[in-house]
Structure 1
Amino acid sequence: MRLSELVGRLQPAVLGMLHVGALPGTPRNCLPLPGIIDKACHEAEIYKDAGIDGLIVENMHDLPYTTSVGPEITAAMTVISAAVKQTCPQLPLGIQILCSANQQAVAVALAAGLDFIRAEGFVFSHVADEGIINACAGDLLRYRKQIGAEHIQIFADIKKKHSAHALTADVSVSETAKAAELFLADGIVLTGTATGMPADPEELKEVEQAVKIPVLIGSGVTLENVRNYLDANALIIEYDSVHGTP
């Protein structure tokens, strides 16, 4: 099932972030790749049993992030994603590779049989904790075309968290969303200012009025505030939300 089949429902789809362990070659790596794969598949099973609508595989623990992601990360994310796909063959699956490794994510999605990617830095530049991130839409969509991956959808973060947006202070969130739609994003991801921080419900209303493509909430959704986001097309949650950890 494609994610687009879920985001058209009357109620928001719920997507789980599958944060894989720190990968080989990164400073915090402590598990061999087979152990990382086993843990990822175990968490995927928990999500599936909880009734999740889809999953996004992400290398969140590869701190500190770099804009020069090596081939070892792409290779590891491919085998992990393929294993998760085998574990949850009926779920829509996506991938995000930090930081801003969007072409690598498309390649992994194609090789592992995934459905979509979550991309940062799609339109407009911003200053992130990894450095300056420039817009990638033109190069990314051309790359997707060149490798025959046009069926892989792209859901683009805008006004990305953990970033300064002084460079585009005169560009509103709705204008940013319109630019992403114009540049052929398949959906928009709205977040708070940092991981775990809630998105602004007013921004959700503003963006939904500005674009016709799906709008996803990408951070900070809890049982206490979920009512603020029921008009979104999808809600992205973390493993702790289904595992019962505060």
Structure 2
Amino acid sequence: MKFLQLFGRLRSIVIGMVHLKALPGTPRRSLTVAQILEEACKEAEIYRKAGIDGLVVENMNDVPYTLHVGPEVTASMASICAAVRQTCPHLPLGIQVLACANQQALAVALAAGLDFIRAEGFVFSHVADEGLVNACAGDLLRYRKTIGAEHIQIFADIKKKHSSHAVTADVSISETAKAAEFFLADGVILTGVATGQEADPRELQAVRRSVQIPVLIGSGVTLDNVEKYGDASAFIVGSYFKHRGDWRNNVDYEKVVAFMEKIHKLRD
């Protein structure tokens, strides 16, 4: 499996979030790209020293998000991600471009030498706080093929956070996961209803029984609840690793170290 080749394990991989400061053209931008790049590399280095298994770079501070991401964001993230890759040359790295800018994420990943993307809206339409999101798997995988980026894995959110799924209320989480697998996702991601909110362990068990691809937990994992998700392929952790558990704050090195120590004990 590509997941095993990338991470060296099939269970309990820990992926930390590098939340970039607000990028050019967004309402809260206050730093230059060079300053944002420097902060991102510092954060990545903290994670690396703490023993993290992988990282995802994300433009989380670009609120309010738009479904029409401009070229200035894509270009900035390519530059920043290339620098993070130089900082962590041997660490598995991924990217998410909010909101739902999955083709842009693939382009950045290819240019910066990243390993995977986190994709929103892969299968089944839903209503996000940015607006109506339509499924993108067909176009996204054709784009990946066209640009020669088949080696870049796509981990797809299903029934994602910050969204209404009333339009697909008759489609279960397991059926959604099966659809993502059928549409050639390299893994699926389960979340709670919002950033920092716990995913449902029962949904993890149901999805694990339904698909053969990796199942990742994408929100709400902490030192106290990680045992609930022992069957997960990976944990994408952002809020918990920040000071006071707030994603807007800087990474707390000691929290990452303590979390990784517990993970190693659970693996043993």
TM-score scaled to structure 1, two decimals? 0.96
The structure-2 alpha-carbon separation of the partners of 1:88 and 1:8, relative to structure 1 and needing over 3 Å to count, comes to: closer
Query: Match for residue 41 of structure 1?
Result: 41
Query: Match for residue 162 of structure 2?
Result: 162
Q: Is the contact made by 2:95 and 2:105 (CA closer than 8 Å) also made in structure 1?
A: yes
* Runs of 4+, deviation exceeding 4 Å: none
State the alpha-carbon separation in 2 of the partners of residues 150 and 231 from structure 1.
27
State the alpha-carbon separation in 2 of the partners of residues 172 and 181 from structure 1.
14
Local SS of the residue matching 2:94: strand
Cα distance, 1:230 vs structure 2: 1.2
Cα distance, 1:5 vs structure 2: 2.7
Query: Match for residue 19 of structure 2?
Result: 19
Q: Is the contact made by 1:6 and 1:13 (CA closer than 8 Å) also made in structure 2?
A: no
State the alpha-carbon separation in 1 of the partners of residues 172 and 8 from structure 2.
26
Local SS of the residue matching 1:73: helix
Local SS of the residue matching 2:14: strand
How many residues align? The count is 245
Query: Match for residue 75 of structure 1?
Result: 75
Local SS of the residue matching 1:138: helix
State the alpha-carbon separation in 2 of the partners of residues 204 and 212 from structure 1.
13
What is the identity, as a one-letter code, of the residue corresponding to 1:178? K
Cα distance, 1:10 vs structure 2: 5.7
Query: What does residue range 63-102 of structure 1 map to in structure 2 within 5 Å?
Result: 63-102=63-102
Query: Match for residue 57 of structure 1?
Result: 57
Unaligned runs of 5+ residues in structure 2 are 246-250, 256-268
- 1:78-125 Cα offsets, whole Å, 9 max, x none, are 000000000000000000000000000000000000000000000000
Cα distance, 1:3 vs structure 2: 4.5
Cα distance, 1:225 vs structure 2: 0.5
The answer to whether structure 1 residue 181 and structure 2 residue 203 are counterparts is no
The structure-2 alpha-carbon separation of the partners of 1:55 and 1:82, relative to structure 1 and needing over 3 Å to count, comes to: same
Local SS of the residue matching 1:24: coil
The structure-2 alpha-carbon separation of the partners of 1:7 and 1:159, relative to structure 1 and needing over 3 Å to count, comes to: farther
State the alpha-carbon separation in 2 of the partners of residues 123 and 19 from structure 1.
25
Unaligned runs of 5+ residues in structure 1 are none
User: Aligned-residue CA RMSD in angstroms?
Assistant: 1.5
